[in-house]
Structures are given as structure tokens and as C-alpha cells.
Amino acid sequence: MRCVIARYPFDLSKSGVLASMKGVKPELITGESVTIGRRRYPVKQVGEVITRQDRRDFTSGEVTRAMARLGFTCHDHPEAAPVRVLTPLQTASALLGSPVPLEV
């Protein structure tokens, strides 16, 4: 498939992307990501590996569109763990050094 990333044309194939990413350790995901094989990679890391360009030269949207057209699963945001929000009473208790009650 022919696509343009950072104003340069590339001929990408699903097997070529799989081969390029083989043995590459995924970095910490903080934004958009793509599943390649059994691993999830940040789209900027994938773009850097397959285009051999600096990450600042292309947008994550360009890489995401190319990966989606090749049939890879793309994700918008990382799956975040639910954040426990403390009530005002729990916050005050924690500041005073008392154990934080689980339920009020």
C-alpha cells in the first residue's frame, strides 16, 4: 500500500511492518497506540521504525491512518487504571497521619 508520511511516499505492507517491528521492545504508551502482533506500540515509535525518520517529522495521525489501512488495530488513548478519589474526610485523615478509612 502506498501512503505519504511526513511528505515522503512509502510502500508499506502488513508483512513488512511485522518484520520491521520484530524484536523491537515497546516503549511506555502515553497516547495513541497500535497493536502489532501481540504487542502494543506507541504510534510514534512505529512510525520511527518503519520510516527511519525522526519522530518530530510526522504526526501520530499519519501513522495511525496508515496502520489502520493495513489492518492493524489502533487505539486512541492508553487504558488507564481507575483512579481512587479521596473524600475530604479521607484526605484530612491522611494528612493527620491516621489510616485512611476505606468507606465512610
- Please state the separation of Cα 19 from the chain's center in Å: 19
Number of residues written out for the chain: 104
Q: Answer whether residue 100 shows pLDDT above 80.
A: no
Look at residue 102 in the predicted model and tell me its pLDDT.
58
Share of the chain above pLDDT 90, in %: 64
CA distances from 49 to 13, 40, 91, 92 (A): 14, 14, 45, 49
Mean pLDDT of 2-28: 93
